[in-house]
Structure 1
Amino acid sequence: MDRLPFSKLQGTGNDFVIVDNRENIFEAFCKGIPEREAVKRICSRRTGVGADGLILIETSNIANFRWRFFNSDGSVAEMCGNGARCAARFAKEKGIAPDKMKFETLAGIIEAEVKGRSVKVKLSKPKDLKQNIKVCGLTGHFINTGVPHFVVFADRVDLVNVKELGRKIRNDELFKPNGTNVNFAEVRLDRILVRTYERGVEDETLACGTGSVASALIAAKVFNLSSPVTVETRSGERLKVYFDEDFEEVFLEGETVYVYEGELRRELLDG
């Protein structure tokens, strides 16, 4: 197979290559090339499509579909909030799932509702909350919102060297072997501002859905914020995080953009 149809979607600046892989066309396209290497080449911003991650939509026996999510470095991630919103939009547009849907992830079953460009997803129950942890000289808070996140509050997030500090914390001994995502949050009267260093991308991204959720939940704990919390991402776009008192039910809502559709040629992988 020398061509692979794909779509490009983004949510608050987090962008993804999405492939309808219900007939295993991705495996046929990548034949002879390790899956991780193929994903890296496709997601490369200079020589490929360019994306924060790649999503394969596959068949499921217990939900509307199953996804497989890859970071841009080819590693597998359990969950991605904005990726989940984009996957739901894609599935609705392609007739794979109705407006209200469920899909399988490594973090559990995710529920989603698509209303035009807006998508609201119900995430798996957060776990492993640990407050007031000292890492790299900074005090922060840990929570797993599908993937692990360490949240540090700052007076001015625009002054934080996210790439340098984020990399140090992400690779700290405390979080080995898998590492953690790192969020820097600033609490304002009407919203919180969040900047995120994402493992697997190994850089700051314009937005992170699970990071926005982690920051909102930790802010609710530390600063007694009530639901919903508005999160302003690095892209300037905003997400809303809904939750109950015990974090039993947590939702992430925001806009998505269906950017374009195209075809990848096999020579991308053969070069």
Structure 2
Amino acid sequence: MIKFFKFHGTGNDFIMLDGRELISLPTPDEIRHLCHRQTGIGADGLIIVKPVEGFDFEMIYYNADGSLATMCGNGARCAVAFSFLTGQSGSEVTFKAGDGGHTGILQPLTDNNWMVEISMSNINIPDKTGEFTEINTGTPHLVILTQDTDAVNVPVEGRKIRYSGPYRANGINVNFLGIGEGRLKVRTYEKGVEDETLSCGTGVTACAAVAALKTGINNWIIETRGGLLEVKLKKNINIFENVRLKGPATMVFCGEFTGSFP
């Protein structure tokens, strides 16, 4: 039997595994089975938190389709809380993800809920910006300025773009961004999940960067369908630096499952 924890960050949900208890990593088929919402545990992704030299822990993140991803902002905040819960780290951490090193600060709210702020990688400012902006925040995103995000059929429109000619091979996350007075509204179609998710940490970070380029405002509260997130960043010539993502991380339940690993 393998113990797992189910976490979510503003509705973006993950299966969490303690890497210290695993002899081998799950296969893509096993990940797809575990993340399946009808026949498995159900999640947008699977995260393994394990010791690594030079950091408090390493976060290995898999999409629901079994593919390995470089970074997940909501998943990283859940990983910080999971590491704290399982005694691998304290309230201030350094951790490694696929896109490099990050820091995190955790504040307990209840026994199963934490407020977590993490550092994100520097963001290169794209040469072309406008109604459609491609930008990488640890994973590639396309940000589309939208008058009414509620009116967008995200699964249909997002899938249409993600599987269009330029993006079919490698995929891209598609974000629909509405800019309001001091607040953003964001909806995201995620590759690897191949559907709309209630929230996307790297996606709201990408949207905050695009909004900053358009308005000159660097601190944003972002409304997603799963809750509120906060992004702060600083523009420095051709990059955004000191990028921070803040929001809740919640443990939903824990249990055990049978499997071929370890």
Summarize the alignment of residues 43-192 of structure 1 with structure 2, pairs less than 5 Å apart: 43-116=35-108, 117-127=114-124, 129-132=126-129, 139-175=131-167, 177-192=169-184
1:6 aligns with 2:40: no
Structure 1 counterpart SS, 2:52: coil
Structure 1 regions of 5+ residues with no counterpart? 134-138
Task: Work out which of the residue numbers 248, 252, 255 in structure 2 matches 1:255.
Answer: 248
Identity of aligned residues (%): 39
Structure 2 counterpart SS, 1:51: coil
Distance apart, 1:128 and its partner CA:
6.0
Q: Distance in 1 between matches of 2:11 and 2:91?
A: 23
Equivalent residue number for residue 229 of structure 1: 220
Q: Distance in 2 between matches of 1:85 and 1:102?
A: 12
Q: Distance in 2 between matches of 1:127 and 1:41?
A: 36
- The one-letter amino acid paired with 1:244 is K
Equivalent residue number for residue 34 of structure 2: 42
Higher percent of residues as strand: 2
Distance apart, 1:144 and its partner CA:
0.3
- The one-letter amino acid paired with 2:13 is D
- The one-letter amino acid paired with 1:98 is G
CA RMSD of aligned residues (A): 1.6
Structure 2 regions of 5+ residues with no counterpart? 109-113
Q: Distance in 2 between matches of 1:130 and 1:12?
A: 31
Q: Distance in 2 between matches of 1:115 and 1:242?
A: 18
Q: Distance in 2 between matches of 1:26 and 1:18?
A: 15
CA offsets 1:17-40 (integer angstroms, 9 cap, x no match): 00001242454xx5xxxx000000
Q: Distance in 2 between matches of 1:43 and 1:25?
A: 20
Structure 1 counterpart SS, 2:68: coil
Q: Distance in 1 between matches of 2:105 and 2:157?
A: 36
- The one-letter amino acid paired with 1:192 is L
Q: Distance in 2 between matches of 1:228 and 1:4?
A: 41
Distance apart, 1:230 and its partner CA:
0.5
TM-score, normalised to structure 1, is: 0.89
Task: Work out which of the residue numbers 20, 31, 39 in structure 1 matches 2:18.
Answer: 20
Task: Work out which of the residue numbers 209, 231, 234 in structure 2 matches 1:241.
Answer: 231
Equivalent residue number for residue 136 of structure 1: none
TM-score, normalised to structure 2, is: 0.92
Structure 1 counterpart SS, 2:83: helix
Structure 1 counterpart SS, 2:55: coil
Q: Distance in 2 between matches of 1:87 and 1:173?
A: 34
Q: Distance in 2 between matches of 1:207 and 1:23?
A: 29
Q: Distance in 1 between matches of 2:80 and 2:66?
A: 22
Distance apart, 1:121 and its partner CA:
0.4
Task: Work out which of the residue numbers 253, 257, 261 in structure 2 matches 1:264.
Answer: 257
Residues 39, 74 of structure 1: 8 Å contact kept: yes
Q: Distance in 2 between matches of 1:57 and 1:105?
A: 10
Structure 1 counterpart SS, 2:221: strand
Q: Distance in 2 between matches of 1:259 and 1:130?
A: 42
Residues 52, 201 of structure 1: 8 Å contact kept: yes
